[in-house]
Structure 1
């Protein structure tokens, strides 16, 4: 693929240089077949007065879109043929009744390889020409498209230099370019959570029924190597369970959803499901009602106080120090406990590259609190569980609080299987109750090598939180074991990722812990044991029903459950969840999937890269461990062991 922003003779605003000879050669190849459409170069004067095949050798997504607009506006039909290097792109056929946006189509195509191409730039200059031997193949594709106009309106044909041909379905409604987004209904100033009263299909997993999100439905809506939201599915074996990675198109960093399950098909489904969550939380996908303001201008009744989100402990070149009168971008959120709109800093609501100036951001955010569901309440509920899980983990880690050990439950066969799997590798699987004042069961899982040695990773951690303790345990153990197998393979190979000479200095210089992976890999070293030794002498192991008596309780309505949980958190712990609707409009319409980010001021945020750590201004870190009886008294902030966390 080419993307030269200054092709010769094609400067921004300058003259274009289509290749009339190429159009003539293609016309000659089609003439013998009696093609009903003339074949024109882009500068041959075609203005939509009749049907045409229009050939472009130098073009941009915006020029392509304007070409189609001329056709649809004047009642003609156009079949665009353009070239990206030596690859020919044919279609889709655009006519008066077409709903296809060619700018959105090109944004999707350019996003498929990942962030290497500026797919959001409508003026990106592209071009190329085919080898002469490709013309007969290209002519055959054009003839086929013209012979079936209804099918051609929903297909993009790709003809690479080797002469192979592939057809790719095109989404009928565009939502990936600024023009289409501007025609979407404006976002309200906060999405109220009203609920439908529908009970969950599975009271333990807390998911509503949705036949559209079975594996076939998700594959059909998401997976397409040239134009899809998900461009690849990778299956991994030997990890104790089937594992699938679903690679998301577009972001500048590699983004993927992961599925871990007892069958490969369910792992595929869960990976696709999580891929939507990742995509939705990366950046806005609709015309959000953004506003540029300071917290002082908005006021505490109408906006989340950025200081209550936890500000960076250490200075960073990527952010500026927060002050109430410093402006930033805000997006609408909703407070269920107060039933009112509440604005949230955009860089706290989305974790990806928002294209903002560094001066607009006060902190670095992760995907913590992002959830996906078959309603907005369901998505928010699962996002809230994630916030609670990570808050509990970080509170135990930073305050070094001993935790009650929980026996492995007999009720979960998969946990027993994975514990046996770890035992064969000389690891002990241990579970700990990390539940905080938020009163939602939270579990820390630890796999610890019985014979620590340089030749094997020593310790792995994971966590889970859920109103059903067994669901929290299941989530933590599955993630733990899969991560262990993946890192163990790396550890035994010759990889810079597991290089002791790279990792050991991080024990003395926390600033060297820069990436998400560093947090986990550092604690694979046997020398890191003193950091987590506070967990290892837990004493008597208790059954899960003894630790969480009376749970889980039956659930009849997810919306009512979420509302009651938010009210309880506000009353019990003084924290107020705020929900940002991150739903992708086309996937909400096609699959009934909603996405949400739950922001809970006052909780400990999960960050990656030690310089992004955020613990200042969060008094629960100092008060809750002592209130729960895990510490003899309230610690001073200066006494906390703020080492890099080991969360994966």
Structure 2
């Protein structure tokens, strides 16, 4: 098989000559590069002066020559089916970077482009010095030539869509270049694109981690870094999300967190929440359907959502942004107000923005279950606190739960887990960690919801410890600037002591359905329990194309009538009065602000 290779660009001649030598030599040089394996039938390579006729083209330049527009050095006659190997000296993606002498980017004919590289670098890196060491030019040229050859042949290691850095005598790291959301086309029916996938994928933790870790890179990543903030009483990871403002009309929430008894699970939780927040913060308002409610088929009116009394009057004849969605109980296609879907929203008009209902999973079913469960959790927590409801203490027979309890005792904390389930027949469990005396913070609480009460209890305890560690890290002075009343409750006041101290006790395993549903059955069960409480449940797919290529799905679940958790001023829907009454309790809407973060 014969391949034509071209080389062009205004960069250092030594690099051009070195690349050409590798590309045209009889011995292709593959044996000297660990990225490639030899084959029984050696291909031949010829040099061509015409990039239009080439199977792969090497472009040699400097970041100063590239500038903000890489097209000035990319040959205009490049074949549509031609791969490109791009050498930049002094930086990457047109951005001068102090600690990079050269960057070699391999761009396939279809996939990430130079503009993709520029955008990714722009979101993470501030410009530095464009200088580079002359001694790196030949090394870079040789490596680029080898990679051009590799782009044409079957390779043992896929180098397509990667960036290899050279710093002095150091070669590497090699980074994945993941496409940005705006590089993907949006052909096809819009409602189909926003319809959540209802598929279940059986993916183990190691596989999920390997997929999610592709998103982590301090130079090109969706997630720029992940660090272990605490290790005791539980592993606690913080993930930082790259800026989205180059391809979105907002900046996605910058930080995400994960806590668990197991280090790998805690790490995956942080990555998963980061990808979820990223998807929620990537949108272009011009892509929304801007129309009045009256003109939309099956519109879910903003008036159906619980909101503060002082919300400006809504006029259904005025145009607002909408996104397609689906009624999960009936499969009916609907229009959802965009302000309730994305976070931060395009416009915070009807009620304070919150992340409740966002979900991420290896498949659509896992993401939907996560989103529905969170809405149920927040609804029950609010109804329980703002009433005379009496929680039921839970005993939990689970190794991970016991491990976290032991670690909590190691910092002087007592653990109390209790049931908050209301009229939606899904276990909602909260856990408090506290100490009657001793140093601040003395109290924190976490909550979770799910069909498996043992796993849910463990999740609520992990969240309680996460919240306690956050309080400890912020300190008394720092916590006063946060939303809600967690600073007040960190002193363990009597009103929260009375709430969590309960006499009635049941075993968590005794409230579990038998068998505990999983996969599609779990989703069906959650939807059934929500609708049995006379609530409608909607969802829309918010997965960005780049996150989809990693193997994950993200959704936003909306249950308009559910009582939301608020973090500033209290506001209530009709459920806050009706549900306690139906269970023989009294609503206490004038109660002091809730303790949930």
Bin of the TM-score, shorter chain as denominator length: 0.7 to 0.9
Bigger CA drift: 182-191 or 276-285?
Answer: 182-191
In structure 1, the partner of 2:478 is 497
Q: Which runs of 5+ in 2 are unaligned?
A: 1-8, 24-49, 152-158, 245-250
Return the offset for 1:579.
1.0
Matched, 1:174 2:134: no
SS at match of 2:585: coil
In structure 1, the partner of 2:420 is 434
Return the offset for 1:94.
4.5
SS at match of 2:105: coil
Matched, 1:551 2:518: no
Which residue, 525, 534, 537 being the options, matches 1:574? 534
In structure 2, the partner of 1:240 is 233
In structure 2, the partner of 1:188 is 191
Alpha-carbon distance in 2 for matches of 1:48, 1:441: 63
SS at match of 1:482: helix
In structure 2, the partner of 1:488 is 472
Alpha-carbon distance in 1 for matches of 2:429, 2:179: 43
In structure 2, the partner of 1:107 is 119
In structure 2, the partner of 1:121 is none
Say if 1:77 and 1:93, in contact at 8 Å, map to a contact too: yes
Bigger CA drift: 255-264 or 427-436?
Answer: 255-264
In structure 2, the partner of 1:390 is 378
Q: Which runs of structure 2 are paired with 1:216-227 in the superposition (5 Å)?
A: 217-218=210-211, 220-227=213-220
Return the offset for 1:330.
0.9
In structure 1, the partner of 2:404 is 418
Return the offset for 1:620.
0.3
Return the offset for 1:524.
1.1
Alpha-carbon distance in 2 for matches of 1:190, 1:605: 27
With over 3 angstroms needed to count, the CA separation of the structure-2 counterparts of 1:450 and 1:167, relative to structure 1, is closer
* Residues 150-182 of structure 1 deviation map (CA, whole Å, 9 limit, x = unaligned): 36753323456x7755343344x73433xx233
With over 3 angstroms needed to count, the CA separation of the structure-2 counterparts of 1:217 and 1:416, relative to structure 1, is closer
In structure 1, the partner of 2:486 is 520
Q: TM-score, normalised by structure 2?
A: 0.79
Which residue, 281, 296, 302 being the options, matches 1:306? 302
Alpha-carbon distance in 2 for matches of 1:250, 1:65: 26
Return the offset for 1:393.
1.1
SS at match of 1:338: coil
Say if 1:245 and 1:258, in contact at 8 Å, map to a contact too: yes
Say if 2:164 and 2:175, in contact at 8 Å, map to a contact too: no
In structure 2, the partner of 1:478 is 462
Matched, 1:141 2:140: yes
SS at match of 2:444: strand
Alpha-carbon distance in 1 for matches of 2:322, 2:315: 15
In structure 2, the partner of 1:629 is 584
CA RMSD of superposed structures (Å): 3.7
SS at match of 1:268: helix
With over 3 angstroms needed to count, the CA separation of the structure-2 counterparts of 1:427 and 1:568, relative to structure 1, is closer
With over 3 angstroms needed to count, the CA separation of the structure-2 counterparts of 1:28 and 1:138, relative to structure 1, is closer
Q: Which runs of structure 2 are paired with 1:204-219 in the superposition (5 Å)?
A: 208-211=201-204, 214=207, 217-218=210-211
Return the offset for 1:137.
1.7
Alpha-carbon distance in 2 for matches of 1:227, 1:67: 21
With over 3 angstroms needed to count, the CA separation of the structure-2 counterparts of 1:403 and 1:64, relative to structure 1, is farther
Alpha-carbon distance in 2 for matches of 1:467, 1:449: 30
Q: Which runs of 5+ in 1 are unaligned?
A: 1-21, 38-45, 118-125, 199-207, 504-512
Matched, 1:71 2:84: no
In structure 2, the partner of 1:129 is 130
* Residues 65-124 of structure 1 deviation map (CA, whole Å, 9 limit, x = unaligned): 9936652449695635264234555342447x45332222222222235xxx7xxxxxxx
Alpha-carbon distance in 1 for matches of 2:473, 2:213: 33
With over 3 angstroms needed to count, the CA separation of the structure-2 counterparts of 1:69 and 1:479, relative to structure 1, is farther
Matched, 1:604 2:563: yes
In structure 2, the partner of 1:344 is 336
Return the offset for 1:460.
0.9
In structure 2, the partner of 1:324 is 316
Which residue, 356, 378, 386 being the options, matches 2:366? 378
Q: TM-score, normalised by structure 1?
A: 0.73
In structure 2, the partner of 1:12 is none
